[in-house]
Structure 1
Amino acid sequence: MNAPPPGQRPAVASREVATRLTEAVPIGVQVGLDQLGTPLEDVEWVVVDLETTGIGASASITEIGAVRVRGGDVVDEFQTLVDPGEPIAPRITALTGITTSMLRGQPTIDRAYADFARWAGLEDASGFALPTPSCVLVAHNAPFDVGFLRRAARSTGHDWPAPRVVDTLALARIALPRPLVHNHRLATLAGHFSTSDQDRHRALGDARTTVEVLRGLIDVLAPLGVRTIEDVSTVGAPVPTRRRRRVALADDLPRSPGVYRFLDAAGAPLYVGSATNLRSRVRSYFTASETRAKVRRMLDVTADVQVTPTSTLLDARVEELRAIRTLHPMFNSASTHQDRTMWVVRRGGSVDVVPVVGADDALDALGPFRGSSHAGRARDALQATYAHDGDAPLAGPSARTDPQRASELGGALRGEHCGVVDCLLGRMASASEVEDFEGATRWRGLLAAYLSGLQRRADVVPMAAARRVVWAQHLDDGGWTLHCSSWGRLVRTVSTPPRTSPLPWVESLLSEEPLPRPPVFLAGTTWEEVRLLTDSVTEAGTRLVHWEGEVPLAAPVDSPLARTRLLVNLDLAGRRGA
């Protein structure tokens, strides 16, 4: 193929920008799932530049300059010289103008890094690294600057928090391919974007220039759908152009909690999900962060996205479960078998596995389990403990003629004591002592199934057996969110105004008639919905307003779930239960 004439090369290069978006060029550090889709106007950028004694790993920092940008505006600046404890080479002085005498008496890297880290929001006031810094570090040739900062942190005894990073050099190679610019040095890009004059080769001056270059690069990429920090972080990753352009489906979506549905051309639901921010979450599907092959196939046939805003995230999660249960979208994998439950119940003095239990029977049942095999292992754990003969087969007779053991069996189903756990741990130890490792593994599997059943019972039975539960969660802007459930089904959510007593709303919820009690346990709900409600009630900061139920949320004192060492045993058992 012949090269285009010189006069047409800039136009060709402009068209290549869209093509280059599909090439895999790493840019900074990809953000986590909990930070997907943050709009650029909400990002706090910390644009940093360093001056050093050289370029090798043994070189030292001589100056740190940084600019904090929020909402597109410069809000603060940071600058400090650093005494490296060694003379500055003449060639470095010629480049930066920094001399050895200028650095004498300046802070050492211990003090300089600590000051910068606290200013940038990488550490708290006590000097501890924040696990998820809110800022995004920006630098031109970021591996160089961030590498020096990381080494400085470690050499001075600080933990490096691994913030999100954007490299304007890598970004420029995508947004401005040659010959739009003849190279991608900071000075060249500054000239291309006609930035204001700054003190070149000094840290703060170069950081200010990088801020203006970053703005220019974002403006270039904006028409191509780059509008969030996640887009910037993955702009060079391989995403088909047709998929990236369809991000426009999310443009008019609200930034509120709710349920979203991907639809095909006939309007049939393909996938249902929920999110705290509908617009951001839907946008994230059309970026490189979406790596699931099944979801990518779904996106190729998506024609529309419909959303249902909700007042809270809990309402969104519940509506998601109900929609999946009703619509059966072909691309949903999770929560597609919410009605599939198995229980372990007592039949006289024996135990059995059944698919449904009555409303009263559930109070003495173990589960629910996802399938009969998991429930069967929990049943075997009980039979191994309470059969007449400890060496009897697991399918053998149980304590039908022993009232005391029958009572203990009932307590084991309810998780009131540790008889099953102690028995199985003993059998695991005995098998290990004679090097019967296959047998020890088998006992461990039974223990895991039993403990998992107890945990599921604790998550599901109290809420689903309660006639009515009302709980409150305080809002950041004031006021309360009140949730009300009946027999394990969320029936209403209300939010109260700030600086107003919530009692009238509580009284209103309590004045409404609860749902009729279903004769079959979980008939009006699913165990997944009940577990969401339990998580909400037990969340830190939640106020339990009203509990009208027979079964308390708290586990009995002697329950395996109340003993930390036995929860550790659940992990050791490989979490093989449902």
Structure 2
Amino acid sequence: MSTASATRTQLAFDELGTPLRETTFVVFDLETTGGSAETDAITEFGAVKVRGGEVIGEFATLVDPGRGIPPEIIALTGITDSMVYTAPKLEAVLPAFLEFAAGSVLVAHNSGFDVGFIKAACRRLGYRWPKPAVVCTVRLGRRVLTREEAPSCRLSALAALFRASTMPNHRALADARATVDVLHGLLERVGSLGVQSLEELLDYLPEVTAAQRRKRTLAEDLPNEPGVYLFRGPSEEVLYVGTASDLKRRVRQYFTAGETRRRLREMVSLAVRVDTVTCAHPLEAEVRELRLLSAHKPAYNRRSKNSRNSWWITLTEEPFPRLSVVRRPRDGALGPFRSKRMADEALLAMQEATGIRPCTVRIPAKAATGSPCALAELDRCGAPCAGRQTVEQYRPMVHAVDALVAGRHLDPLRLLESRLAALSTEHRFEQARTGRDRMSTLIRALDRGQRLAALASVEELVAARPDSAGGWEFAVVRHGRLASAGVARRGVQPMPVVEHLVASAETVIPGEGPLRGAPAEEVGVVLRWLDRPGTRMVRCTSPWSEPAHCAARWRPWLDIADRARVALVTRD
């Protein structure tokens, strides 16, 4: 056999992947206040890290859910309100769990439930979901075991079948320990069938197609580096764009049963090539993904079908300005809003808070002859349409809108709060609930908009974050856009790297609007990266600060409102 042929044989053998005996699994379980990842909360984490059949670490903690635990959940788990009262909140536990599980394969019994709660928590708290490989012991059990052997794939049934050393009892760590024994029992079964690597294990699970298996060669020459990948179709069209901390590992997952989404299995069957763009670190990858999605609008990315164009609230240009919901913001606009419905809710709250006219007619500066509406009779509008208010008399309402959006004063929010209190006193609870929800939408929009605008106003900002190997990740941000990104590995002097990144950074010419022309989604991604614990400021051309009277002061009010809303939903 020739040397070249032997080399090819060795590479093909290497493509078998990571041996199961060398794979690190984090087997975990959660206890929660209910079954919805969006409305319920986590009360307990339990996780066991195993490799080669040996336990190498455990992670367990109760979590303060910030709300009462329903009686039926207390009866099921035995976790009471008094037990979680002094427990850490999810904001402290989630990053610790993500660090514990970093680089491992996640395993859970009915993994869709537990992973769904973790992904929802990452979304709410601003952590990027690392997209690990996930093994579900329910699916694996149904694939390996016969109906006669295991009529039920409940954890208690499989734990009894494999004679687990710990029996599940609806407490997170005990259930995770039981799942470890179930996993090892199932891996012994598939090992006798020739499944020896992680990739083969994922490929063994149901619903993998022949088209997926045939396309595995598309990942052969990809790098093991962070970046963005693009699946291309037969006419060079971009079918799908995604990001990965390890491009080769992530793309290979599309050719195994680990990918169960029907539309993406269809995409894989159409793909003829995978292009990659290596990136310095995850922030650059996420920003490049956003830009590629905007440029190509791939057919198989949900973001291409669900437009991410933002909505904004702005004042019209006329003698008696009114509020209008638009797609293209001007200076002083409020936003961005993810949906027109949310923008409409905030607009109604702003009208009530500032006294700005709610009608849509265009009113001339002089000789207004319209008829006043019911709001004028309720002293909720000065009726400029009927000539009862001059431009000068109307101007304070316009100034109130500008000042609220810019963070110069918060009087309109205090007015809304007092009206909500009055409605509650009068037992008009339905109106108070509607007003509370609208006010919450407005405060969130003000808070987010002011923070994004503050970042976009800075001409240049250089920030650094420690990487996991003793080095530094750098980002050069100009008017809210990522202009350059790089790393200084451990032992490399960081400041020369910073100077090089600044010198080679993209030139950003600011545009109009609160975000200086930057895409709202990109500014949001950059802001989340800057906000993460451990990020340090290297330099800044001008002070990066929020307004003195920003809506962030109302976050405690939002917490109270959210708890009231959740309590009402739970009671209903």
The answer to whether the Cα contact below 8 Å between 1:384 and 1:394 also exists between their aligned partners in 2 is no
Say yes or no: does 1:377 pair with 2:345: yes
State the partner residue of 1:82: none
Deviations 1:311-358 (A, max 9, x none): 211111111111111111112122663444423348688552343345
Separation in 2, partners of 1:394, 1:149: 69
Give how far 1:269 is off.
Answer: 1.0
Deviations 1:172-211 (A, max 9, x none): 65x4xxxxxxxxxxxxxxxxxxxxxxxxxxxxxxxxxxxx
Preserved CA contact (<8 Å) 1:368 1:527: yes
* CA distance in structure 1 between the aligned counterparts of 2:403 and 2:25, rounded to whole angstroms: 58
Question: Who is 1:542 aligned against?
Answer: 535
1:44 corresponds to which of 24, 41, 51: 24
Percentage of pairs with the same residue = 26
Q: What secondary structure does 2:166 align onto?
A: helix
Q: Tell me if the contact between 2:486 and 2:501 (Cα under 8 Å) persists in the aligned partners.
A: no
Asked whether the equivalents of residues 24 and 51 of structure 2 are also in contact (C-alpha less than 8 Å), the reply is yes
Using the TM superposition, give the Cα deviation of residue 232 of structure 1 relative to its aligned residue in structure 2, in angstroms: 2.8
Q: In the TM superposition, what are the counterparts of 1:385-534 in structure 2 within 5 Å?
A: 385-387=353-355, 391-392=378-379, 401=393, 407-434=399-426, 436-510=428-502, 515=507, 517-521=509-513, 522=515, 525-534=518-527
Shift of 1:393: 5.7
Instruction: Report the residue type matching 1:342 in the other structure.
Output: W
The letter for the 1-side match of 2:327 is P
Q: How does 1:3-42 map to 2 (within 5 A)?
A: 40=20, 42=22
- Using a 3 Å threshold, how does the CA distance of structure 1 residues 68 and 293 change in structure 2: closer, same or farther? closer
Q: Is the contact between residue 263 and residue 303 of structure 1 (CA under 8 Å) also seen in structure 2?
A: yes
What amino acid maps onto 1:332 in structure 2? Answer: N
Counterpart of 1:343 in structure 2 is: 313
**1:483 CA displacement:** 1.1
Residues 296 and 445 (structure 1), Cα distance of their counterparts in 2 relative to 1, 3 Å cut:
farther
Distance 1:163 1:497, change over 3 A: farther
Please give the alpha-carbon distance, in whole angstroms, between the structure 2 residues aligned to 1:529 and 1:163: 43
Count of residue pairs brought into register by the alignment: 419
Q: Which amino acid aligns with 1:486?
A: R
Q: What SS class does the counterpart of residue 221 from structure 1 fall into?
A: coil
Contact 2:226 2:285 (C-alpha < 8 Å) held by counterparts: yes
Residue 161 and residue 405 in structure 1: after superposition, are their counterparts in 2 closer, same or farther (change >3 A)?
farther
The amino acid across from 1:543 in the alignment is R
Q: Which has the higher contact order (CA 8 A, sep 6+)?
A: 1
After TM superposition, the structure 1 = structure 2 runs for residues 164-203 of structure 1, keeping only pairs within 5 Å, are 165=180, 167-171=183-187, 175=190
Q: Does the C-alpha gap of structure 1 residues 511 and 324 become closer, same or farther in structure 2, counting only changes over 3 Å?
A: closer
Q: Which has the larger radius of gyration?
A: 1
Q: C-alpha distance in 2, partners of 1:432/1:555?
A: 31
Q: Distance in 1 between matches of 2:351 and 2:447?
A: 19
Change over 3 Å in CA distance of 1:505–1:164 after alignment to 2: farther
- 1:199 match: none
Aligned to 1:278, which of 247, 270, 290? 247
Are 1:149 and 2:172 matched, yes or no?
Answer: no
How many angstroms apart in 2 are the aligned matches of 1:318 and 1:298? 23
Mapped pair 1:122 → 2:122: no
Q: For residue 470 of structure 1, give the secondary structure of its aligned residue in structure 2.
A: strand
Q: Relative to structure 1, is the Cα distance of residues 147 and 523 closer, same or farther in structure 2, using a 3 angstrom cutoff?
A: same
Measure how far apart 1:260 and its partner are.
Answer: 1.1
Question: What is the CA deviation profile of residues 431-476 of structure 1, one whole-angstrom value per residue up to 9, with x for unaligned ones?
Answer: 4555545433432342133123113313421222221111111223
Other structure's SS at 2:208 match: coil
User: How far has the Cα of 1:171 moved from its partner?
Assistant: 4.7
Contact 2:336/2:449 (<8 A) preserved: yes
CA 334–394 in structure 1, closer or farther in 2 if over 3 Å, else same: farther
What residue number does 2:550 align with? 559
Shift of 1:41: 6.6
Q: Secondary structure at the match of 2:447?
A: helix
Cα distance between partner residues in 1 of 2:285 and 2:400:
42
Bigger shift: 510-519 or 367-376? 510-519
In structure 2, relative to structure 1, the CA distance for the partners of 1:232 and 1:509 (3 Å cut) is: closer
Q: Name the SS for the 1:518 alignment partner.
A: coil
Tell me which residue corresponds to 1:202: none
* In 2: Cα distance, 1:498 partner to 1:147 partner: 44
**Structure 1 residue 329 and structure 2 residue 286: aligned?**
no
Mean alpha-carbon deviation: is it higher for 281-290 or for 538-547? Answer: 281-290
Distance 2:254 2:382 in 1: 50
In the alignment, structure 2 segments of 5+ residues that lack a partner are: 1-16, 28-47, 62-87, 108-136, 146-156, 357-374, 567-572
Show the counterpart of 1:356.
328
Q: Distance in 2 between matches of 1:403 and 1:427?
A: 23
- Pick from 325, 334, 347 the counterpart of residue 366 of structure 1: 334
Contact 2:226 2:244 in 1 (8 A): yes
Instruction: Provide the rounded CA distance (Å) in 2 between the counterparts of 1:458 and 1:301.
Output: 44
Decide whether the 8 Å contact of 1:378 with 1:449 is kept in 2. Answer: yes
Q: Could you tell me how far apart the structure 2 residues matched to 1:367 and 1:68 are?
A: 46
Corresponding residue number in structure 2 for 1:221: 195
